[in-house]
Amino acid sequence: MSPHSTLSSSLCGPFDFARQAAAEMSRLAADLERDAADIDALAAWTAQLLVGGACLLVCGNGVSAAEAQHFAAELTGRYQRERPPLPAMALTADGALLMGISNDYSVDTMFARQVQALGRPGDLLVGMSTSGRSRNVVEAVAVARKRGLHTLALLGKDGGELAGMADREWSIPSATAARIQEAHLLFIHVVCDHIDAALVAAEKGETPHVIAHSKKSA
């Protein structure tokens, strides 16, 4: 038997990762469905700001950094329908800038410095952190609030230090980072659904229905 065959056999043996992940996703999906009205309301608030002219600044670390870039791409590109591009910037995307700020100041300020330079009152900062304890995201939210930006925190677990800091927040009821990240991606796509719906309504001369949302997490 070749080494590859042995490896394949061992991986298919006692492990059941796909079933475990699917079961956990199913449990989390039930929670999300229960809170769907609150999630939709938060997504609608986010979409209303973006369609209304706010520039999106979004940041996070690791996989959350990739999701930040995904979010910005959905706005400056398109989601499911042809529409004008919306202004969005992932604060995670410029490697030279991030290294420069980290070298001259600290990693903790790599997002906050960009918010200070680029953010304007009325813009929207979205900070993503599965733990809620990412110091550079905490600093970015703090600076954004001082500068008059709207703030939204996408969190997990107990929300960490970011709990209660932003104007709006959503904390995923899971202790698994992968599931939290998957739920954050779902939220990004729901926001895009609301943006598309709002623009369709605008094309028809209608006023899109937007639901108010409290500061509490969904």
Q: What is the mean pLDDT of residues 79-93?
A: 93
Nearest to 42 by CA among 215, 213, 217, 216: 213
201 pLDDT above the threshold of 90:
no
Is the Cβ–Cβ distance between 162 and 127 less than 8 Å?
A: yes
What's the CATH code, domain 54-218?
3.40.50.10490
Residue ranges of the domains in the chain?
Answer: 54-218
Nearest to 193 by CA among 109, 115, 79: 79
- Strand blocks (E) in 1-121: 56-59, 88-90
pLDDT in tens, 18-44: 888 888 888 888 888 888 999 999 999
**Given pLDDT bands bounded at 50, 70 and 90, which one contains residue 53?**
very high
CA distance 47 to 39: 12
User: What pairs with residue 152 in β-bridges?
Assistant: 126, 168
Size of the chain in residues: 218
